[in-house]
Chain A
Amino acid sequence: MTQHDEIAQRIARLERRAEREKAARGEAERLLEEKSLELYHANLMLTQFAAELERRVEERTGELEQARERAMAAANQDQLTGLANRVRFIRTLDESIVEASAKGGRFALFLMDLDRFKEINDTLGHEAGDVFLQRAASRLRRVAGDRAMVARLGGDEFAVVAADRGDGSGWTELAIAMTDAIRRPVRHRGRKLEATGSLGVAIYPDDADNAGDLQRFADIALYRAKASRATHTFYDAEMGRELDERHALGGELADAIRLGHVEAWFQPVVDAASRRIVSVEALARWRHPSRGLIAPGVFLGLAEERGLMHDLFARMMRSACPQAKRWIASGITQSLSINVSPSQFRLGCVADEVIGLLRELDFPPEALTVEITEEVLMYDLDRARQQLGRLEALGVRLALDDFGVGYSNIGYLRQLPFHALKLDRSLSADLTSEAKVRSILGALVHLADALGLQLIAEGVEDEAQALWLAQVGCRRLQGYLFGRPVTAAGFERAIAGSAAFRSVA
């Protein structure tokens, strides 16, 4: 090969090499661009992922926030009604005190209780009760507006903390509006649910300057409202004193029963035609060593509250039976009537109590009449029926007291072994003035006849009433006309002094 050819060959080789290098570099660049594009897309995806993640985190945080708020609200909220619960109420009360004391302002605490709410639950079921509470709650909230906080403290108790409306009258209006709101019936499943409310009000700082006293005083006022059947009552210091007195008395009652300061007084029941004594009713009286005679209206309630009815009844039997036994023996009377409280049926066994005491006192069962009010029929009919049955089997007679103004129905009367109905004194009181009452009484006489029950009219105070009742067929009469309740000694004196009180032979 010539040198020229060699050089040409060499150049050709070098050119081919250069070509290969160039191609390889081009390939490398292309791959680089490809990689860059890949990287760009990867970055884009990452950015999107990051944004998505951030969005989700925010969403989740929002959800958690909401859940937390709901939990907090639930902790402060009454589940059924959505009102503030007791916890929040206490807090609001404290806050209101702080704010009012700082600004020199006033506010009112209302405590509200629904009367006869238990009946709705008992007769129509808890669902109806719940619905009623819910509606009552929303009505109260509407009435209270945004100047007052309404709370449900539990059961059928509500509380309202109301800011000062400028003058005291605003609170009276609010109280009336609240009780009105409660009184409106609630319609549920075609039924009308009704209850009423009692309200007690205490004012900061007029009545008390701390949460404890404020609640206590509102409670006292509420208690007073319930007792006096007022819709609402504002607390006053007098109430507090009275309550303290009542407390003191209550504390002494157990001892009083034990020591015999509580005793039986007697009132006669006479035959309507002959006016002769057929039986005596034993009535409880408390001769307090320093306070004098305390009316049963006061201490019977206390006895119920303190669970002393059983002891009271035993004391009454022990006080009355020996006397009555002597009077029966000497022909002054035929039988003894004694009252039993419905709570004794609920809390224990009346039949056992009575049977035990009759045995202890050696008193003939046929000469005892047990008087019970209609209330006993409301709460536990079966229990009552069972116990009354046992008493009847023994020969004890049974009278339904305060008949004609409450819940009794003929169904009950047919089922229970009563011998007599004692007409409530309000019927006797109104009969001369109201024709309607006379009609009712006439009908009741027929009813008693149809049921085979004896009818006894209470509260007979004048001759006109006595005559009319005798005429219409009521055969037994009791009342001041024939004698007020007196001690055993007083009774004997009255017998001795008046021929009219000789017993029916």
Chain B
Amino acid sequence: MKGIVFTEFLDFVGAELGSDMVDDIIEDAAPASGGAYTAVGTYPYAEMGALVGALARRTGAPANQLLRAFGRHLCRRFTVKFPAFFASAPTLFDFLASVDGHIHVEVRKLYPDAELPSFRVNARGPEAIDLDYASCRALDALAEGMIAAAAEHYGFPAAIAASRIEGPDGPFVRFSITRAAGALAA
């Protein structure tokens, strides 16, 4: 897993829960890298799993909840670090549709060995979109948080429903994103 996920995670933890918590979860997880992460590096995914697990134990919050929150943080960070991706997509749905075909393509140019999930648009209408998330890591909670933050960024009041589906190529999660009931068009 690319280092940027680790550095952002630790920054997230530091910002929300203080840098002492960062030290603690690193000590708890005892990763081989010693917790010295650089954004351009590559580290075993197991270390992320260990860090998230350590944080869950220390906070008492479920791991998925933490991941969802981190997802929001991560996406907000992306709007700052990579504004072009958001600027080139006029609407939330355009943006979500561009993840696989555009954003991840660009990511691989910089990080050819990045293991990225796939976000396939299954159906799309003016008010709803189905996005199928498939990954070798079960980080759909992270993805959900990112989608929520993206919706906020585009000012789209989104209701996100996730359903696990067993597909011909394996299991995936279908995110059905619709305009939240009661909300007026922006």
Q: Which residues of A contact B (CB under 8 A)?
A: 13, 16-17, 19-28, 31-32
Interface size in chain B (residues, C-beta < 8 A):
13
Which residue of A is nearest B41, CB measured? A27
- Most B-side CB within 10 Å, residue of A13, A22, A24, A31: A24
Tell which of A13, A24, A31 touches B36, judged by Cβ atoms closer than 8 Å.
Answer: A24
Tell which of B20, B34, B39, B40 touches A20, judged by Cβ atoms closer than 8 Å.
Answer: B34
B residues near A31, Cβ cutoff 8 Å: 38, 40-41
> Distance (Å) between the CB of A1 and the closest chain B CB?
14
Assess whether A17 is in contact with B36, with CB atoms less than 8 Å apart: no
Which residue of B is nearest A29, CB measured? B38
Q: Which residues of B contact A (CB under 8 A)?
A: 19-20, 22-23, 26, 34-41
A residues near B23, Cβ cutoff 8 Å: 13, 16-17
A residues near B41, Cβ cutoff 8 Å: 24, 27-28, 31
Which residue of B is nearest A27, CB measured? B38
Alpha-carbon distance between A31 and B2 when the two chains are bound, in angstroms: 13
A-B pairs, 3 with minimum CB distance? A23-B36, A28-B38, A24-B36
> Distance (Å) between the CB of B13 and the closest chain A CB?
13
Assess whether A19 is in contact with B36, with CB atoms less than 8 Å apart: yes
> Distance (Å) between the CB of A17 and the closest chain B CB?
7
Tell which of A17, A19, A24 touches B38, judged by Cβ atoms closer than 8 Å.
Answer: A24
30 cross-chain CB contacts under 8 A: A13-B23, A16-B23, A17-B19, A17-B22, A17-B23, A19-B34, A19-B36, A20-B26, A20-B34, A20-B36, A21-B36, A23-B34, A23-B36, A24-B36, A24-B37, A24-B38, A24-B41, A25-B38, A26-B36, A27-B37, A27-B38, A27-B41, A28-B38, A28-B39, A28-B40, A28-B41, A31-B38, A31-B40, A31-B41, A32-B40
Alpha-carbon distance between A22 and B34 when the two chains are bound, in angstroms: 11
- Most B-side CB within 10 Å, residue of A19, A21, A27: A27
B residues near A25, Cβ cutoff 8 Å: 38
A residues near B22, Cβ cutoff 8 Å: 17
Alpha-carbon distance between A22 and B37 when the two chains are bound, in angstroms: 10
A residues near B36, Cβ cutoff 8 Å: 19-24, 26-27
> Distance (Å) between the CB of A80 and the closest chain B CB?
63
Alpha-carbon distance between A16 and B41 when the two chains are bound, in angstroms: 20
B residues near A32, Cβ cutoff 8 Å: 40
Secondary structure call for the B interface: loop
- Most A-side CB within 10 Å, residue of B19, B38, B39: B38
Which residue of B is nearest A10, CB measured? B20
A residues near B19, Cβ cutoff 8 Å: 17
B residues near A22, Cβ cutoff 8 Å: 36
Which residue of B is nearest A13, CB measured? B23
Which residue of B is nearest A28, CB measured? B38
Question: Known contacts A13-B20, A26-B36, A31-B40; can you find 17 more A-B pairs with CB under 8 A?
Answer: A16-B23, A17-B23, A20-B26, A20-B34, A20-B36, A21-B36, A23-B36, A24-B37, A24-B41, A27-B36, A27-B37, A27-B38, A27-B41, A28-B40, A31-B38, A31-B41, A32-B40
Assess whether B35 is in contact with A20, with CB atoms less than 8 Å apart: yes
A residues near B40, Cβ cutoff 8 Å: 28, 31-32
Alpha-carbon distance between A24 and B39 when the two chains are bound, in angstroms: 9
> Distance (Å) between the CB of A471 and the closest chain B CB?
119
Alpha-carbon distance between A23 and B22 when the two chains are bound, in angstroms: 16
Alpha-carbon distance between A21 and B23 when the two chains are bound, in angstroms: 12
> Distance (Å) between the CB of B138 and the closest chain A CB?
27
Alpha-carbon distance between A16 and B19 when the two chains are bound, in angstroms: 12
Which residue of A is nearest B7, CB measured? A24
Which residue of A is nearest B10, CB measured? A20
Alpha-carbon distance between A25 and B38 when the two chains are bound, in angstroms: 7
> Distance (Å) between the CB of B83 and the closest chain A CB?
23
> Distance (Å) between the CB of A502 and the closest chain B CB?
125
Alpha-carbon distance between A21 and B38 when the two chains are bound, in angstroms: 9
A residues near B20, Cβ cutoff 8 Å: 13
> Distance (Å) between the CB of A20 and the closest chain B CB?
4
> Distance (Å) between the CB of B40 and the closest chain A CB?
5
Which residue of B is nearest A35, CB measured? B40
Which residue of A is nearest B14, CB measured? A17
> Distance (Å) between the CB of A19 and the closest chain B CB?
7
A residues near B35, Cβ cutoff 8 Å: 20
B residues near A17, Cβ cutoff 8 Å: 19, 22-23
B residues near A24, Cβ cutoff 8 Å: 36-38, 41
Which residue of A is nearest B34, CB measured? A23
Alpha-carbon distance between A25 and B41 when the two chains are bound, in angstroms: 11
Alpha-carbon distance between A211 and B137 when the two chains are bound, in angstroms: 92
Alpha-carbon distance between A478 and B20 when the two chains are bound, in angstroms: 148
> Distance (Å) between the CB of A288 and the closest chain B CB?
102
Alpha-carbon distance between A436 and B38 when the two chains are bound, in angstroms: 122
B residues near A28, Cβ cutoff 8 Å: 38-41
B residues near A19, Cβ cutoff 8 Å: 34, 36
Alpha-carbon distance between A113 and B39 when the two chains are bound, in angstroms: 92
> Distance (Å) between the CB of B179 and the closest chain A CB?
43
Alpha-carbon distance between A470 and B37 when the two chains are bound, in angstroms: 136
> Distance (Å) between the CB of B11 and the closest chain A CB?
12
> Distance (Å) between the CB of A13 and the closest chain B CB?
5
B residues near A26, Cβ cutoff 8 Å: 36
Alpha-carbon distance between A393 and B19 when the two chains are bound, in angstroms: 135
Alpha-carbon distance between A13 and B22 when the two chains are bound, in angstroms: 10
